[in-house]
Chain A
Amino acid sequence: MAFVTGCSGQYKGMPREEVLAYQTHATYGELHALAVAYAESINAAVKEDTLHPGMYADYGVTLALMGRRGTACRMFNAEVRAFPESRGMVRRIKQHLLSDMMDDTLAQLHDTANIGQLMGWAYDSLTALRPLPWVASIVDSSDTAWIRRQTPVDSVQREIRLTANQKRELLEEQQSAAARARQAYADSVAAAKQAKMDARKQAKVEKEKAKKQKEKDKAKADKEKKQLEKQKQKEKEKQLAEKKKEQERLAAEKKRQKEQEAIAKQKQREQEAAEKKAQREQEAAEKKAQREQEAAEKKAQREQEAAERKAQREQEAAERKAQREQAKGGVE
């Protein structure tokens, strides 16, 4: 187990930001920005003598993809010069990208004559300025043969034949062409920088726009959500109210039913009471009638007994009288 601090800061050189940006969005703008970044990195590395293997080749590929074939070819050759072990790989890449420039002497210009480099710049600048109609007409009409003729081998051969006067004229012409090319190169670099800045600004604006749109969408979604929630709440309340109403209706019905039942019970009770009363009255009347009958019977019986007793008493009185009279009669 070991602890080590990060040291990623040591490895510099390749413009990774631009490479990643280009690999993510492979547009011409990104490619241009990448080429500018590579050029700056190479310049800085050459100054500090810390050239990164493969940087010239990468720059060459970028330029070739941009259509700046001459400079690309020179960069590939520079890679081979700086790192001879890359010869095979660079040759394969050149075959792939610049198949018609495999034996092109334009690349050797860099070594043999400074003027060739200037002509290369001129060629690249014209290619870069191709969108302008008059440049396109020159480039298309001559098919860049006039530049190709200025290759170092040709220029060396021509040099022998040219007179001093012609030489001077050619030199002046070439110097002015070189000045124009330098200016065009500086302009293209400035334009690239501007394009990069514009692209960044545009990206920033788009990002802000996207952010605003996102916020807007979010706000809209929130609003819709709130509305949906409100609607749901309303529906819920409505359902609750309906439920309450139903419950009330059921309660009222129950109450009414209860009342009806109570009334029916009351009626039944009253009926039963009336029946009982009638029964009681009937029974009382029957009892009364029975009592009266019994009383009448008793009265009749008493009267009969009284009459019997009276008759008996009268009979006994008559007998006693008869006895007394008889007794009286005997005495006499």
Chain B
Amino acid sequence: MKSRGVLLLLLPFLMAGCKGEKRMTQYGEMYRERPAILYIAPVVDKSERRAVRSIEDSVYNAAVNAAVKQLYLTASNPLVFNGYYVLGPMASAQLAATENRTVKQLRNENINDYYDDLGIDAVLFLTVNSWSSTHNSWTVEVEYTLRSTRTGSEVMHSVVKATKLLPTDFKGRPLPLGEDRAFAEKYGCDLETAQRCRLVETLNLFVLKDLPAGNRARPVSIERYVPTHAEYYNLQINPDGSVMIVPDDEEQ
């Protein structure tokens, strides 16, 4: 009984220790670099747009464009919550306007000047690779790369394929979620745009929320640690709001 009690007392510490070790191995570069000030570069959108032949094509293109904007807007929130200093979207856009190099150049070339002149520790690059959909699901593949401005190394790299599933009625037709409807009403957009926007928002949240805490980290009452550390993985958002993460075997 005594040993069991001791074990029970030690269990939280043991669990915390395991988790810390995990993070240390998963985000070794992050811990070595310890970036505190991040800058989100403009999103690189590699996904295809439809040639406009009908209204549906225009609606699709507008929805994808809005989702890409939403991806950029919502990327800073989880980072801020984790204690990093990140400029807001308006200021980031102005900072990007002062830059003469393209995002591709920023990603590949030397960006020491970001550290020397602006004091930025790392730059987050977001790349939308593709969009796809079925009758009751939306899928997006996004690549997250965090590059150190001091050493130029990639301190974090994730390629995530996120799928949002919608519930279906007895005939197999998709039923829009109430949250999507609320989003559409709030932003004055159509349901397709709302579903895509909410997908990228959730994706940002789940990919960026468990980075090692920055120097301004706020205390969190419930630890929502999910191992989203693998470089390639699939993320599935179920109709009930739960999220399932499956490591991707086919590393590209």
Chain B positions within 8 Å of A207 at CB level: 188
B66 engages A20 (CB within 8 Å)? yes
Quick one: given A17-B186, A24-B66, are A88 and B119 in contact (CB under 8 Å)? yes
Quick one: given A85-B36, A89-B119, are A6 and B73 in contact (CB under 8 Å)? no
Quick one: given A10-B81, A20-B187, A89-B120, are A54 and B91 in contact (CB under 8 Å)? yes
- Chain A CB within 10 A, most for which of B76, B87, B245: B87
A306 to chain B, nearest CB (A): 124
A89 engages B118 (CB within 8 Å)? yes
Q: Which of B55-99 contact A (CB under 8 A)?
A: 66, 69-70, 73-74, 76-78, 80-81, 84-95, 97-98
Quick one: given A53-B216, A88-B120, A89-B39, are A61 and B90 in contact (CB under 8 Å)? yes
A2 engages B245 (CB within 8 Å)? yes
A57 engages B246 (CB within 8 Å)? no
Q: Does A197 contact B (CB under 8 A)?
A: no
- Interface residues of A, count at CB 8 A: 43
Chain A positions within 8 Å of B90 at CB level: 19, 34, 57-58, 61-62
- Which one, A92-100, A132-140, A295-303, A308-316, is touching chain B? A92-100
- Chain A CB within 10 A, most for which of B86, B89, B117, B246: B89
- Which one, B128-136, B139-147, B236-244, is touching chain A? B236-244
Quick one: given A4-B224, A7-B224, are A89 and B73 in contact (CB under 8 Å)? no
Q: Does B37 contact A (CB under 8 A)?
A: yes
- Chain B CB within 10 A, most for which of A2, A21, A83: A2
B73 engages A19 (CB within 8 Å)? yes
A10 to chain B, nearest CB (A): 7
Chain B positions within 8 Å of A97 at CB level: 94
Query: Which one of A7, A54, A93 contacts B98 once the chains associate, using CB atoms below 8 Å?
Result: A93
Query: Which one of A6, A21, A24 contacts B243 once the chains associate, using CB atoms below 8 Å?
Result: A6
Q: Bound state CA distance, A194 and B40, in angstroms?
A: 34
A6 engages B202 (CB within 8 Å)? yes
Chain A positions within 8 Å of B89 at CB level: 14, 19, 23, 58
B230 to chain A, nearest CB (A): 12
B94 engages A85 (CB within 8 Å)? no
A1 engages B246 (CB within 8 Å)? yes
Q: Which of A38-64 contact B (CB under 8 A)?
A: 52-55, 57-58, 60-62
Chain A positions within 8 Å of B88 at CB level: 14, 19, 52, 54-55, 57-58
B204 to chain A, nearest CB (A): 9
Chain A positions within 8 Å of B39 at CB level: 89
Q: Does A3 contact B (CB under 8 A)?
A: yes
B98 engages A85 (CB within 8 Å)? no
B244 engages A3 (CB within 8 Å)? yes
Q: Which of B33-67 contact A (CB under 8 A)?
A: 36-37, 39, 66
The interface residues of chain A, by DSSP majority, are classed as helix
Q: Bound state CA distance, A17 and B182, in angstroms?
A: 12
Q: Bound state CA distance, A86 and B227, in angstroms?
A: 31
Q: Which of B171-227 contact A (CB under 8 A)?
A: 186-188, 201-202, 205-206, 216, 224, 226-227
Quick one: given A3-B243, A5-B242, A14-B77, are A92 and B95 in contact (CB under 8 Å)? yes
Chain A minimum-CB-distance residue to B197 = A20
Chain B positions within 8 Å of A52 at CB level: 80, 88
- Interface residues of B, count at CB 8 A: 49
B87 engages A4 (CB within 8 Å)? no
A222 to chain B, nearest CB (A): 16
Query: Which one of B86, B94, B242 contacts A4 once the chains associate, using CB atoms below 8 Å?
Result: B242
B91 engages A61 (CB within 8 Å)? yes
A53 engages B85 (CB within 8 Å)? yes
Q: Which of A56-96 contact B (CB under 8 A)?
A: 57-58, 60-62, 83, 85-90, 92-93, 95-96
Q: Does A16 contact B (CB under 8 A)?
A: yes
Query: Which one of A11, A23, A83, A86 contacts B81 once the chains associate, using CB atoms below 8 Å?
Result: A11
Chain B positions within 8 Å of A13 at CB level: 80
A54 engages B86 (CB within 8 Å)? yes
Q: Bound state CA distance, A54 and B87, in angstroms?
A: 4
A96 engages B244 (CB within 8 Å)? no
B25 to chain A, nearest CB (A): 18
Q: Does A203 contact B (CB under 8 A)?
A: yes
B218 to chain A, nearest CB (A): 9
Chain A positions within 8 Å of B77 at CB level: 11, 14
B108 to chain A, nearest CB (A): 22
Q: Bound state CA distance, A87 and B120, in angstroms?
A: 10
Chain B minimum-CB-distance residue to A7 = B224
Q: Does A8 contact B (CB under 8 A)?
A: yes
Quick one: given A4-B243, A10-B81, A14-B88, are A61 and B94 in contact (CB under 8 Å)? yes
**9 pairs of A and B residues whose beta carbons are closest in the complex:** A58-B88, A54-B88, A88-B119, A11-B77, A88-B118, A57-B91, A58-B90, A61-B90, A54-B87
A to B CB contacts below 8 Å, 29 in the list: A2-B244, A2-B245, A4-B243, A5-B241, A6-B237, A6-B243, A11-B78, A11-B80, A11-B81, A14-B73, A14-B89, A16-B73, A19-B88, A20-B187, A23-B69, A58-B87, A58-B88, A58-B89, A83-B85, A85-B119, A86-B85, A87-B119, A88-B120, A89-B87, A92-B98, A92-B117, A93-B94, A93-B98, A95-B98
Given contacts A4-B242, A20-B73, A86-B87, 10 further A-B contacts (CB under 8 A): A1-B245, A6-B243, A8-B205, A19-B88, A52-B88, A54-B76, A54-B88, A88-B119, A89-B87, A93-B95
